[in-house]
């Protein structure tokens, strides 16, 4: 992430526990319309404004996350959170693990992937065996960003991917660990020109089929007028680590937000398909004006978005936090309780932080699905304006 902005008790162990999937997928995934046929808004049965309905679902469980300072920036400022939990039992004594990047003073030299254990939904700690960041600063004129990770079910290793920006290229790096302490040497999974491989999001199935989504923004990056989402796949043979695996050529993905530019995303699998948390900013603006949207897909290629975001900058529940931008977040879904847990990062006041909120996915999709374009137009008029930093390159 190269930002050029000025404003810019157990882990819900319900959220991290493996559970039985519902007997049928949520309707939103089961009856998805073709991408050229936007779904008609659902009939609205709640007379309250859409914004009030969404906030009523998530406000009761909205809290800031406490993070430790890392050993390099000596700051708890953080962005790019990504949570993952093994499908069964604990992994090295902890149920769920987090990657993130420190971001003190919006300085990319601090933006180096770090590794934490989730003690609860809102308290993340540095395990005694971990010295953060786990990836060093690459040097002047280069920077790291956008970590994402998943477990390899065959080996029990945690696989991490992140973006290294250097020499006018985006290199998607990959490394792994079996013990949360010793990592393999990062290698290049694939590379794209600046900035055509932003915010990689990794999933690995039980049969070791891996799928990666990322955003192609072009050279303008944070100021892009349009972007696209791509996916790649990999399926290493038995005995072959993901560091040695080959990745497919990119396939275009139909994931767009009407009137907005997709900037970052995180993808999880849910019964019936996939769910994405998408950071997007209004066309003609910049990434400091990002809000967070949900999108759903039955195949990972054709996606459906909603008329309104799930988190926007002028929400009443954040007005006392001086929040000026929502940013990349991470999700975890518990099929047994239908609870969707989200951990978005955001810029509030003069600090970058991470928050936690949760709601029943069925309830959230029902409200979002009833929204119309007019609902977002009414909210967008109240949004704060983004500002550039003086030394924007």
The string of DSSP codes covering 177-201 is ESSSS-BPPPEEEEEEETTSSEEEE
pLDDT score of 90 = 87
Question: What pLDDT digit, counting tens, does each position of 326-379 carry?
Answer: 999 999 999 999 999 999 999 998 899 999 999 999 999 999 999 999 999 998
Q: Quick one: tokens of 302?
A: 């054709």
> What crossing angle do the helices spanning 373-380 and 50-58 adopt, rounded to 10°?
80
pLDDT score of 11 = 35
Question: What pLDDT digit, counting tens, does each position of 6-65 carry?
Answer: 333 343 444 343 333 333 445 556 444 444 455 555 566 788 999 999 999 999 999 999
Q: What Rg do the C-alpha atoms of the chain give, in angstroms?
A: 19
- What's the CATH code, domain 13-380? 2.115.10.20
User: For residue 10, is the peptide bond before it cis, meaning its omega torsion is within 30 degrees of 0?
Assistant: yes
Per-residue pLDDT of the chain (393 residues; tens, 9 = 90+): 544 433 333 434 443 433 333 334 455 564 444 444 555 555 667 889 999 999 999 999 999 999 999 999 999 999 999 999 987 778 988 889 999 999 999 999 999 999 999 989 999 999 888 999 999 999 999 999 999 999 999 999 999 999 999 999 999 999 999 998 899 999 999 999 999 999 999 999 999 999 999 999 999 999 999 999 999 999 999 999 999 999 999 999 999 999 999 999 999 999 999 999 999 999 999 999 999 999 999 999 999 999 999 999 999 999 888 899 999 999 999 999 999 999 999 999 889 999 999 999 999 999 999 999 999 999 888 888 765 533 222
Q: Are 85 and 94 in contact (CB under 8 A)?
A: no
CA angle 259, 263, 267 (to 5 degrees): 105
Q: How far is it, in rounded angstroms, from Cα 162 to Cα 140?
A: 18
Q: How far is it, in rounded angstroms, from Cα 290 to Cα 228?
A: 16
């Amino acid at each position: 992430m190269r930002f050029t902005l000025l404003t810019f008790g157990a882990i819900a162990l319900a959220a991290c526990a493996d559970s039985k999937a519902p007997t049928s997928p949520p309707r939103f995934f089961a009856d998805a319309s073709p991408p050229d046929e936007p779904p008609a808004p659902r009939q609205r049965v709640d007379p309250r404004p859409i914004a009030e309905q969404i906030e009523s679902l998530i406000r009761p469980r909205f809290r800031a996350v406490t993070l430790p300072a890392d050993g390099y920036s000596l700051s708890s400022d953080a962005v790019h959170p990504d949570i993952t939990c093994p499908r069964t039992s604990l992994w090295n004594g902890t149920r769920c693990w987090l990657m993130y990047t420190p971001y003190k003073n919006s300085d990319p030299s601090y933006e180096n992937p770090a590794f934490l254990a989730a003690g609860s939904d809102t308290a993340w700690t540095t395990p005694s065996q971990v010295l953060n960041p786990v990836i060093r600063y690459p040097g002047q004129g280069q920077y790291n960003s956008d970590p994402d990770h998943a477990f390899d079910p065959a080996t029990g290793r945690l696989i991490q991917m992140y973006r290294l920006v250097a020499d006018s290229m985006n290199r998607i790096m990959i490394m792994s660990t079996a013990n949360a302490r010793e990592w393999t040497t990062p290698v290049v999974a694939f590379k794209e020109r600046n900035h055509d491989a932003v915010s990689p999001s990794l999933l690995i199935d039980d049969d070791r089929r891996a799928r990666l989504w990322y955003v192609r923004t072009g050279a303008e990056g944070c100021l892009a007028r349009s972007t696209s989402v791509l996916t790649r796949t990999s399926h290493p043979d038995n005995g072959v680590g993901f560091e040695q695996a080959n990745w497919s050529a990119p396939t275009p993905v139909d994931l767009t937000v009407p009137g907005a530019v997709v900037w970052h995303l995180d993808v999880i699998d849910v019964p019936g398909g996939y769910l994405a948390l998408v950071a997007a900013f209004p066309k003609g603006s910049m990434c400091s004006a990002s809000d967070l949207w949900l999108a759903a897909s039955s195949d990972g290629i054709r996606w459906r978005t909603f008329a309104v975001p799930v988190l926007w900058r002028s929400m009443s529940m954040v007005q006392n936090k001086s929040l000026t931008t929502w940013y990349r977040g991470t999700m975890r879904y518990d099929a047994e309780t239908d609870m969707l847990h989200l951990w978005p990062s955001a810029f509030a006041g003069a600090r970058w932080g991470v928050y936690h909120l949760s709601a029943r996915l069925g309830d959230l999709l029902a409200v979002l699905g009833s929204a119309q374009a007019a609902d977002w137009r009414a909210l967008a008029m109240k949004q704060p304006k983004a500002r550039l930093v003086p030394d924007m390159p």
